[in-house]
Amino acid sequence: MLILAFESSAKAASVALLRDGRLLGQSTQISALTHSRTLLPMAEDLLRNCELKPADVDLFAVAQGPGSFTGIRIGVSTVKGLAWAADKPCVGVSTLEALAWHGVAAGGIVCPVMDARRSQVYNALFEIREGKPVRLCEDRPISLEELAAELEKLASPVFLLGDGAALTADFLQKRGLPFRLAPDNLLWQDGWGVAMAAQDKPPISGEELLPVYLRLSQAERERQERLAHGET
């Protein structure tokens, strides 16, 4: 099976091409450019360099959240359009589960964290078993204080990765809690992780693919706060 996978839920924009679980190519960029400018051209270049076209792809995969509201929308919209145009199925996967695949070589408990602002992170915990991450809890927005209290109960240090890893490491270090910080080449979200997470998911149509935000946008939260105080 040929999978073309997209990751745009955070700062990194990444596209990967895998055939039967083996990486054929990947393009990743961490820059100030918006994903709407980088994501599709990266995919087009990757397919062309591998002498393939969208019609050759068997499955399109995308990180559907959590993460940046704008980034998630760009990735999901891109895959919905490609799946529709090529009349091929697609899969949306958790950004956190895709990140957890970067911890396979590290083993133990993997703790992907994404900065959710306001001293919170998007997080889930996974344990590496038989060469793959096994989910220990659902994706959730959680405060650093609550996460630290959870990790304190574990018998071994967790493997931290994701764009919230440095923030979380600093918080844990101040509380004397053990952890292992992923090296830079494993720290960021990428298309390879999305493709690996997509392999055991049931395919759906582009029409069925939806983003997963976990919480309201900042604008919507502020609107609700104004309404709660009788403001318009």
Output the CA–CA distances (angstroms, integers) from residue 160 to 113, 137, 182, in the order listed.
7, 16, 6
Residue 188 exposed, middle or buried by CB count within 10 Å (0-12, 13-18, 19+): buried
Domain-embedded: residue 232: no
Q: Do 124 and 81 fall within a single domain? A: no
pTM: 0.92
Contact between 16 and 195 (Cβ < 8 Å): yes
Over residues 38-49, the pLDDT tens digits come to 999 999 999 999
Q: Do 89 and 198 fall within a single domain? A: yes
Domain-embedded: residue 137: yes
Q: Do 11 and 68 fall within a single domain? A: yes
Q: Is 202 helix (H, G, I), strand (E, B) or coil?
A: coil
Q: What is the CB-side half-sphere exposure of residue 1 using CA atoms within 13 A?
A: 17
**Cα(45)–Cα(153) distance, integer angstroms:** 47
Domain-embedded: residue 130: yes
Q: Do 12 and 91 fall within a single domain? A: yes
Q: Do 161 and 204 fall within a single domain? A: no
Q: Do 7 and 72 fall within a single domain? A: yes
Neighbouring residues of 217: CB distance < 8 A, sequence distance ≥ 6:
69
Token pair 């993997």 in the structure block, residue: 110
Over residues 54-83, the pLDDT tens digits come to 999 999 999 999 999 999 999 999 999 999
Helix, strand, coil % in the chain, rounded to nearest 5: 35, 30, 35
Domain-embedded: residue 47: yes
Q: Which two tokens stand for residue 227?
A: 């309404």
Domain-embedded: residue 29: yes
CATH number of the domain within which 148 lies: 3.30.420.40
Domain-embedded: residue 170: yes
Range of the domain at 123: 105-187
Q: Do 76 and 136 fall within a single domain? A: no
**Cα(23)–Cα(175) distance, integer angstroms:** 39
**Cα(151)–Cα(192) distance, integer angstroms:** 27
Residue 168 exposed, middle or buried by CB count within 10 Å (0-12, 13-18, 19+): buried
Q: Do 117 and 75 fall within a single domain? A: no
Domain-embedded: residue 183: yes
Per the structure, the count of domains in the chain is 2
Q: Do 54 and 90 fall within a single domain? A: yes
Domain-embedded: residue 67: yes
pLDDT per position in the chain (232 positions), as tens? Answer: 999 999 999 999 999 999 999 999 999 998 766 899 999 999 999 999 999 999 999 999 999 999 999 999 999 999 999 999 999 999 999 999 999 999 999 999 999 999 998 889 999 999 999 999 999 999 999 999 999 999 999 988 999 999 999 999 999 999 999 999 999 999 999 999 999 999 999 999 999 999 999 975 444 444 444 444 466 5
Q: Do 90 and 126 fall within a single domain? A: no
